Amino acid sequence: MGNEHSYHVLAWWSSGKAGLAKCDSAPNALHFAAPPQFGGVEERWSPEDLLLCALASCFTTTFRTLADHSNFPFTDLEVDVQGTVGKVESGYAFSEIAIRPKLTITSDEWREPAARLLEKA
């Protein structure tokens, strides 16, 4: 495995206030729109949702890799990511993003290694 990896996403407006995004690694396009609070439509992924999803999925996959390399057994990992967007001088920006993992381990003897791996991830 090399030290550099490239990824590609293409996004376009499909109609009205909604768009589509497609990446090279997945067969299905993703429907997105601005959130309703910013004049978008409901029941679509928003850029804000996608950013938080990227953080949650990155944390989850990173933890899984670290756990595999450490022979660390765990039962489940749930990652809750919440963000707050607020008005700033140039428009809107995230003022806070909190990542809250909930790890289920097989026994208390794994508590310290679990904390180290969560911190590392």
Q: Give the whole-number percent of the chain exceeding pLDDT 70.
A: 99
Check whether residue 23 and residue 69 sit in a common domain. Answer: no
Q: What is the mean pLDDT of residues 14-34?
A: 94
The CATH number that applies at residue 17 is 2.20.25
3-class DSSP string for the chain: CCCCCCCCEEEEEEECCEEEEEECCCCCCEEEECCHHHCCCCCCECHHHHHHHHHHHHHHHHHHHHHHHCCCCEEEEEEEEEEEEEEECCEEEEEEEEEEEEEEECCHHHHHHHHHHHHHC
- What's the pLDDT at 1? 63
Give me the chain's average pLDDT, please.
95
Domains contained in the chain, number: 2
Domain span including residue 5: 1-45
Check whether residue 106 and residue 55 sit in a common domain. Answer: yes
The whole-model pTM stands at 0.89
Check whether residue 41 and residue 79 sit in a common domain. Answer: no
- What's the pLDDT at 15? 85
Q: What is the mean pLDDT of residues 92-121?
A: 96
Q: What is the mean pLDDT of residues 24-53?
A: 94
